[in-house]
Amino acid sequence: MTCQEAAEDVGSMQSAPSTSTRSTSSTSTSSSGNNNSGGGGGGKETASTLLNPSSSAASASAAGLGVHPSSSSPFPPPPPALHHHHQHHHPSTNTAAKPIRTIYPTELAKKLTKCNSKGALQFQSQGPVIIDCRPFMEYNRSHIQGAVHINCSDKISRRRLQQGKITVLDLISCREGKDSFKRIFSKEIIVYDENTDEPNRVVPSQPLHIVLESLKREGKDPLVLKGGLSSFKQEHENLCDNSLQLQECPEGGGASLIPAHLPQSIPTTPDIENAELTPILPFLFLGNEQDAQDLEKMQRMNIGYIINVTTHLPLYHYDKGIFHYKRLPATDSNKQNLRQYFEEAFEFIEEAHQCGNGLLIHCQAGVSRSATIVIAYLMKHTRMTMTDAYKFVKGKRPIISPNLNFMGQLLEFEEDLNNGVTPRILTPKLVGVETVV
């Protein structure tokens, strides 16, 4: 007898159930179907439900889920194991997911102290691989000693990592980190963010969750630092790097290409005061307040356009009507949004360029605000990375030192350029950079 014929026989024997039995049977069948569809598992019952929906009711009835078969049923009751499977299908799916392991700050500190005491070579070969998945500027402000940065702050990188199109190794920011990660076959991997205390509750869109899932797909079993950097730093600040240590990473991309040896403080006052008006490009000059006052020098340089990147300095010689002026009201602070002025400044610079005039861009000292806009302009109009543009400008004017806030905005700008959010303008080519970068 075929399965379908048997199911029809059972249906004929139950052709006149009571009203209450019909209601219960409907509910039980629906519940059974939900369990099968929710689990996606493949037993014989799942297959028969898909092939013949009517047999689902008979199967549910025979399983004792609210409908009792008549004594003349040709089928014996199903084994208890199948009944147990239905009742606990969802919980078994949940328990199958392996919980994320954690490590406490004190435990990690012991590992780091032990490895550091053996020297750098021992640390590289035996120490854990520590992955920081916070935003890049947060990493540069402070991170655990030896931690490598995963650059997944932009949506495109996160999505590609989720889809398995790239791996964690692809997003490690610098060469040293990549080399360390390649040698992790017998190493522990420890991942942290700012302050996650319960990694099993992290939402799927968070970088920490995405990095953990990617590592698991690669067969790794990472640990999460409980409480993140915040907890670790409270107890073990001596094991953190707290100053901006921007490393050059030639193999990286996007925001991983960071200027090497950025100055840790503003240059001395005499250096700033003695700095001269600096030609960055044949038509683009970077200077300070004194340069903006020197009418003779500006006329000698064929400067006809001036950008004043301050809130308080006057527009020198504006009343003479010989300069095209633009003020970008910005302060040199850690809260100033300078990027909002980038496009406006670029258009003004291009206007001067097309008119055959030179342009002076200045703030008070020509160190931070105006230098940031010049770096951004080079990134926009060439294929320079932020590293290249920074080095190019610093090579011309050694005193430049954009504050950390502006450096973060340049990093974000570079990501947008690389991801196509902000288009580059490569024609006409800028004169004066081809032989250098």
Would you say 177 and 130 are in contact if contact means Cβ atoms under 8 Å apart?
no
Q: Is the pLDDT of residue 272 over 90?
A: no
pLDDT of 149: 83
Type of residue at 366: G
Higher pLDDT, 163 or 337: 337
Type of residue at 92: S
Mean of the per-residue pLDDT values of the chain: 74
Going from the N-terminus, what domains does the chain have, and what CATH number goes with each?
Answer: 3-96 (no CATH), 101-256 (3.40.250.10), 273-419 (3.90.190.10)
Segment 34-41 shows an average pLDDT of 42
Nearest in space to 345 (alpha carbons), one of 321, 322, 371, 317: 371
Q: Is the pLDDT of residue 163 over 50?
A: yes
Instruction: pLDDT band for 141, please (50, 70, 90 cuts).
Output: confident
- Maximum average pLDDT range among 63-67, 144-148, 178-182: 144-148
* Each residue's pLDDT tens digit, 367-387: 999 999 999 999 999 999 998
- Maximum average pLDDT range among 66-70, 185-189, 320-324: 320-324
What is the secondary structure of 204-254 as a DSSP string?
TTSHHHHHHHHHHHTT---EEETTHHHHHHHHHGGGEE-S--PPP-TT--G
Q: Is the pLDDT of residue 265 over 60?
A: no
Helix locations, 52-174, DSSP H = 53-62, 80-87, 89-96, 105-117, 120-126, 136-141, 155-162, 168-171
Q: Which residues, other chains included, contact 45 with Cβ-Cβ below 8 Å and sequence gap of 6+?
A: 36, 56, 59, 82
What residues does 144 pair with on adjacent strands?
240
Query: Catalytic residue among 115, 152, 174, 363, which?
Result: 363
Q: Which residues, other chains included, contact 392 with Cβ-Cβ below 8 Å and sequence gap of 6+?
A: 280, 378, 384, 433, 436, 437
Would you say 306 and 324 are in contact if contact means Cβ atoms under 8 Å apart?
yes
pLDDT of 175: 56
Confirm whether 3 is a catalytic residue. Answer: no
Which residue is listed with tokens 């044949």? 282
Alpha-carbon distance 316 to 53, whole Å? 86
Reduce the DSSP state of residue 26 to 3 states and report it.
helix
Supply the pTM of this predicted model: 0.46
Q: Which two tokens stand for residue 367?
A: 């160190």
Q: Is the pLDDT of residue 423 over 80?
A: yes
Segment 190-205 shows an average pLDDT of 92
Q: Is the pLDDT of residue 168 over 50?
A: yes
pLDDT of 150: 83
The size of the chain, in residues, is 437
